[in-house]
Each structure stands twice: as C-alpha cells, then as structure tokens.
Structure 1
Amino acid sequence: MAIKTLSLTNFRSWEETAFEFDPKINLMVGPNTSGKSNILEAVYFLAIGKSLQAQSQKEVIKWGKDHAKIIAQTDPKGKLMIVISENPEGSMQTKKTFKVNEVPKTRFGFLGNFSAVHFSPADIRLVIGSPTRRRDVLDQILSQADHNYLRALLSYQKIIKQKNKLLEVLKGKTGDIPELDFWNGSAEKNGKYIQESRRNFIKYCNTLLLEVAPRLNSPKESLVINYKPNIISKERLEIVKRDEIAKGVSLVGPHRDDYNFIKNSTKDLELYGSRGEQRTAVFALKLCEIAFLEESLKQTPVLLLDDIFSELDKIHRRNILTVLDKYQSIITTVEMSLVPKGILNKAKVFEI
C-alpha cells in the first residue's frame, strides 16, 4: 500500500494544497503551526474514516468554509475521497461522503481500502493517560482491520447511550423493567464481540513482544500488555442492575475496559516506568500494530510519524530507521538537524 498523491481543500489550516509522495520516505519540514500535523491527520482520516483528534468532526473544516475535502491517489486501490460537510443551521453534526474510484461507499465499505499507523510524542499518553485514550487506540486499530468490530462498537456505543438515558429515568424504581432487559441483551451481544476482539489483539501483541521487547531493551527484559476487561455477561448485568438504576449509569462492559504495560513481570510502567521505558512501550505497541494490520489486511500500512525525532534517543531513532526500510512513511519535523542522516539522505523533502 502506498499513497501517491494527496490534495486537501479547506482541511484545517489548508485552503488548497497538493502533494506528490515518494514511495518510500517523505519528510515534511516546517515550524510549529505550519500545518504539518494536519497533513498526517488527513492521511489517517483515510484509514479510519474520521479525525484522529477532533472532538467534533466539524473542527476539521477550515473556519468560514462549509466543507472539507480529502482526495488521495493510492496504489493499488486507486482514488479515495472523503468530503466532510456542515449540516445547516449551525449544528455541530457533519455529513461525511466516501468514494472509492468515484463510487459512493458507506464508511464500512470505505474502510480497508487504505491503512496507516500514526505515531507521535503525545502517544506516551497510552501509558500514563486515561483508560479512554487507551480504549480509543484499540478501537482505531481493530476498526481498520475488522468491519464487524466497527459495527459492534458503533452499535454498542448507541446502546449504552440509550441505556444511560433509561437509567436516569428509572432512578429509585423497583420491580421488573423489561426495557432495561432489552438494552442489556443488546449490550451483551455486541460487548462480547468487542472484548473478544480486544483480547485476541492483545494476545497477538504479547506473542510478538516476546521477540520485539528484547530488541528494544536488553535481551533479558520483557514487556507484556495486561488486558483488564470489565467483563460483560448476562449474569453480571443482572447482579449490577440495581446499582445501575441507583446511580443512573452503566457499570459493566467494554466502555470500562483498560490495559497497562508491565515490564519484567511486575513493573507497571504507568506507575513506576521512566520516560524512556514508557516511550519504548508505546513504540513496541506501534510495531505490533504495524504487523497486525499488515497480516489482517494483506497490505502494508503507511507510517505517519509526527515530530518523533525531538523525543526519541539514538537507540529508538536507529530502530525507526530499520522499520522505515519496509514501508512508505510520511514524517514531520521542525528542524532537519533532528532527523538521522540515514533517513534524510533517502527522503523526499517538503518545506512547509
């Protein structure tokens, strides 16, 4: 998989711009606020069908405009296009239109035509940030690889929203509540699929980490991702039913899952890891993500590396160089002096 050209219209800070990429290494150089990260966000939009960071999809539309457009020519899938349009009357909701080679697609039909892995210094929040952030990353990975996962996830999110509305109404009530049983049954069905998919992915990562972790650390060191599911089942939902009614919120299910990174069997990197150990854990997860997407989709993902060289030490820079030999990459940096010569000498440079 490779992206040959990219054109943006009214996307974030870009009113109109276009790029023609090298099949291997592409380096975007420019000061902060020049729009480098927005380019990577647009490319990643093609992979997951939404913005990586916007709270509302409306945020990606340039101020004062009513739509944003991303068009990419890819190999081998051809032309991919996403249009994000404002809804009338000032609503924060947006309409997204997807096309593959000018043929309209649903988001489900669009995903899988392009895959990417995004890596930035902010990803250290995977280790030290909130469970919500960690769940979001799992969802981004698994939604690229499995349309059924995305369907289950979107259904589950709607179910929990409706169930929580019902629980607010039911506060303090007793007796049988058939409507709550209906939402619980739907939540259990979709929640089990989500948790089984997450469990399988983390199992895949831990198998790969047996090989990867010693290369990133010392040969005797290990790294494990510890999945902590808030298991959903008919029995658990029945047990917590009265507590949920009393509190007016759903207490069981994958929306409360978490995971952490454990070094050498006992060291929780969120609590006791150094900054370097935490970065290594994130980098290891990204290597697992690359391998998982490549195996699941039978295509190589494009690597999007956002200003990572300002944060990585020499060992990690060398590891990055090894990975870049195998994939197309788009890299951003504030200064060329931060980029290893081994990358700079091979890169197509864009001054932003």
Structure 2
Amino acid sequence: MYLSELQLDHYRNYEQVDVHFSPDINVLIGENAQGKTNLLEAIYVLALARSHRTNNDRELIQWDGEYAKITGVVQRQIDHIPLELVISQKGKKAKFNHLEQAKLSQYIGQLNVVLFAPEDLNIVKGSPAVRRRFIDMEFGQMSAKYLYNISQYKAILKQRNQYLKQLQRRQAKDLVYLGVLSDQLAAYGAEVTVARRAFLQQMEKWAQKLHQEITKEREVLTFKYQSQMPDDQLTRDVEGIYQQFQALYEAQQTREVEQGTTLIGPHRDDVLFLVNGKDVQSFGSQGQQRTTALSVKLAEIDLMKEQTGEYPVLLLDDVLSELDDLRQTHLLKTFQNKVQTFLTTTSLENVKKEIISAPRVFTVTNGTVTVADAAIN
C-alpha cells in the first residue's frame, strides 16, 4: 500500500496543504521547526487516530483553530481508499470510503505505518510502559480483534481500579461486583496475553534475521515476554490463561483492595530484549541497544506484510544522522524498492545517492510544501 495524496486543514502549523506523493521514496527537506515532523505526524495520525508525540489532541489543531482535518488516499493492490479524520474539542470523527465509523477501532488498519524516530531507542532503554504502548500500537494496526480486546481491557481496568479505590476508602463493600469486574478483566486479559505472545514470536523471527545480518552473525537477538504469571502458565491457551487470571485475582484480592489498584494483568507486563542471552537494556552497549531498536523496528515491516498481505508505509523522522554507515545502509536496504518511504532531513547531504534512487524531494518552509528541483548528489 502507499499514500498517494494528503490534505491538511488547520493542522499544527499548516493552514492548508495538498500534497501528492511518490509511491517510492519521498524526501522532506527543511530547517528545523518548519513542519517536516508535523507532516510525518499527520500521516501517522491519519493511520492510527492518535499522535506519537502528544496525548493532547488540542495540540494538533492550529493555534486559535476550532478543528484540524486530515484527508488522504490510500492505494492498495486492488483498490484505493479515501480516509478522513477530523479532530475537534468534541472528539474525533473518522471516515473511510466516505462512511463515518462508529468506533475508531473500525477505522484503524486501513493505512498501516511504521514510524522510526530517534526516540525509538526508548523501546529498548525506556520503561515497560513504553514497550507496552509500542506493542499495542503496532499490533493494533494488524489485528482488529487485538485492538478491540486491548481497548475493552483498558476500559474494564479503569472501572475496576475506580471500584478498588472505593473499596479501599470504604465507600463501597460489594465484593460480588468486584468479582464480576475481575471475571471480565480476566477474559480480555487472556485474549491480550495470548495475542501478544503470538505476535512477538513472529516479530522475533524477523528481528533475529535482521540483527544477525547487521552484526555479521556475532549476536543473536531473542525476546522474552515478562508477566506476573509463571512461564509455564503463559504457554497455555486462552481458556487456561483466563482461569489462571481468575485464580490470581482471587488470591490477590485483599492486597488489591488495600492498595486500591489492579496488581495483575497485561497492563503490567513487559518484553525483554536479549542479546546472546543477556538483557540488552541492563548489560548491552549503546551500539547493541541501537542495533536492537533498529532490528525491532525493521521487523515490523515484514511482519505487517506477513499479517496483512501489504507492506506498510515507512516514516523516517531524522534518523539517518543518528545511525552510523553500517546501520544506515541496512536501514535503507531494507525498504528500497518495496516500501513507500517518507524521510525528513535538514540537508540532502545526509542522503546517499548510491542507496536511494529517484526520490521525490519536497521543500518544507513555514507550513508550506513544494516540490523541490534539488537532486541528491
């Protein structure tokens, strides 16, 4: 798939813009704070109905504006799909094929994207919450079922935590209702846990191959899913894990009421990245951490192709300057001639002609986008 056209209205520093893209390589060149990253963010928001940079949707709307509107046309193997997302104080409205969707979960997945930015090193170095968010965002694009289950899980988790607070403060005392919430949370938690493990096993296969290529087979990358549940229980099916969660909630009920929060479940799980059997976050060098992050992100491209039948759109936000020649070459070699790519840079000198051929170059200046005459040397 590829994005052939993008229109922005009142989005961040863009009053109005209409851009037509190449299905291959698109280079966005401009000084800092001109809108290059905003343009990439808009593509990401069009795909996922949320930003990777902020949780406050108001920041996406132009200063003093009442709404922001993003529209685009996605070209697929057999058809093309118009997408539209309107963000306002009242919330979001999403359409594909000109039909408004009752739920965002029904909209997400029409355009699949993989974003690679300098802060993606946090997938390895950051907190478990960063890795959980990464898993949920990426897998949610590939599976409507996963997106639905994780959304339901988070909604019930919020209810359950609120009720645990009421029990803690003795504003409520009905443990039967707590049991109902626990049963619902266990059911969705089991679905989420099984799906995460399955997706991670598939991603590990692609990441291992890439990591060995980059390290000339000196290192082996493996993933380990960490849960409060014993490892031997994690291999069970949905029904088995559901029963295990039920038992854990029953055993932890007193502690959870005392602390006023849910202590067990996939919202507390993590993923360890191991290089030659050692946790790369704790024991890896900076180079090993960068290589791991790069391998994980690039693995998404092949995993999405495997899961959806189409390659995603790749967004590279000022990452070439962050990578040495070896990693940069592997990055560019991975997507060349098969994935529509958007690459931001402050200078064409950062882009190697021998690796990227015939790109469409755009100049971004103070919220305007024009096709550039410049060529890559």
Report the TM-score, using the length of structure 1 for normalisation. 0.93
CA distance in 2 between partners of 1:62 and 1:44 (Å): 17
Q: Which amino acid aligns with 2:21?
A: F
Once residues 324 and 122 of structure 1 are traced to their aligned partners in structure 2, the CA distance between those partners, rounded to angstroms, is: 20
Is 1:134 aligned with 2:131? yes
Q: Helix, strand or coil for the counterpart of 1:305?
A: strand
Matches within 5 A, 1:228-247: 228-231=226-229, 233-247=245-259
Q: How many residues align?
A: 344
TM-score by length of 2: 0.87
Q: Which residue of 1 aligns with 2:209?
A: 211
Q: What pairs up with 1:241-280 in 2 under 5 angstroms? A: 241-265=253-277, 267-280=278-291
Which of 267, 292, 307 is matched with 2:318 structurally?
307
> Who is 2:340 aligned against?
328
CA distance in 1, matches of 2:44, 2:173: 49
Aligned twin of 2:9: 9
Question: Which of these residues, 308, 312, 333, is aligned with residue 297 of structure 1?
Answer: 308
Structure 1 residue matching 2:263: 3-state secondary structure: coil
CA deviation after TM superposition for structure 1 residue 176, in Å = 6.7
Instruction: Answer whether contact 1:25 1:343 (CA < 8 A) is retained.
Output: no
Residues in 1 aligned to 2:197 and 2:335: alpha-carbon distance in whole angstroms: 29
- Asked if 1:283 corresponds to 2:286, the answer is no
Question: Per-residue CA shift, 1:114-155, capped at 9, x if unaligned?
Answer: 111000110000111111111000001111011111111111
Query: Which residue is equivalent to 1:346?
Result: 358
Answering whether residue 82 of structure 2 is matched by residue 79 of structure 1, we say yes
Kindly indicate whether residue 168 of structure 2 is the aligned counterpart of residue 171 of structure 1: yes
The structural deviation recorded for 1:341 is: 2.1
Q: Secondary structure at the match of 2:92?
A: strand
> How do residues 127-206 of structure 1 correspond to structure 2 at under 5 angstroms?
127-171=124-168, 177-206=175-204
Q: Matches of residues 14-33 of structure 1 in structure 2 within 5 Å?
A: 14-33=14-33
Change (3 A) 1:113 1:176: closer
Q: Which residue of 2 aligns with 1:98?
A: 94
Q: CA deviation at 1:230?
A: 3.4
- Counterpart secondary structure, 2:191: helix
| Superposition CA RMSD, Å | 1.7
Q: Decide whether the 8 Å contact of 1:195 with 1:229 is kept in 2.
A: no
Counterpart of 1:103 in structure 2: which amino acid?
L
2:104 counterpart residue number: 107
C-alpha distance in 2 between matches for 1:98 and 1:55: 18
Deviation at 1:343, TM superposition (A): 4.5
Higher mean alpha-carbon deviation, 48-57 vs 161-170, is at 48-57
Runs of 4+ in 1 over 4 A off after TM superposition: 172-176
In the alignment, the residues of structure 2 paired with residue 229 and residue 250 of structure 1 have an alpha-carbon distance, to the nearest angstrom, of: 14
Amino acid at match of 1:102: H
Which one-letter code corresponds to 1:130 in the other structure?
S
**Percentage of pairs with the same residue:** 32
Name structure 1 gaps, 5 residues minimum.
88-94
Shift of the 82–172 alpha-carbon distance from structure 1 to 2, 3 Å rule, reads closer
CA drift at 1:200 = 0.6
Distance 1:4 1:175, change over 3 A: closer
The separation in 2 between residues aligned to 1:33 and 1:324, in whole angstroms, is 27
Give me the whole-angstrom Cα distance separating, in 2, the residues matched to 1:80 and 1:49: 11
Report the CA distance between 1:205 and its aligned residue: 2.0
After superposition, what is the alpha-carbon deviation per residue over 1:75-129, rounded to whole angstroms, capped at 9, x for unaligned?
A: 1332111111113xxxxxxx21111121222323322221110001100001111
Contact 1:68 1:85 in 2 (8 A): yes
Aligned to 1:92: none
Q: Partners in 2 of 1:61 and 1:18 — Cα distance?
A: 17
Aligned partners of 2:23 and 2:208: how far apart in 1? Answer: 31
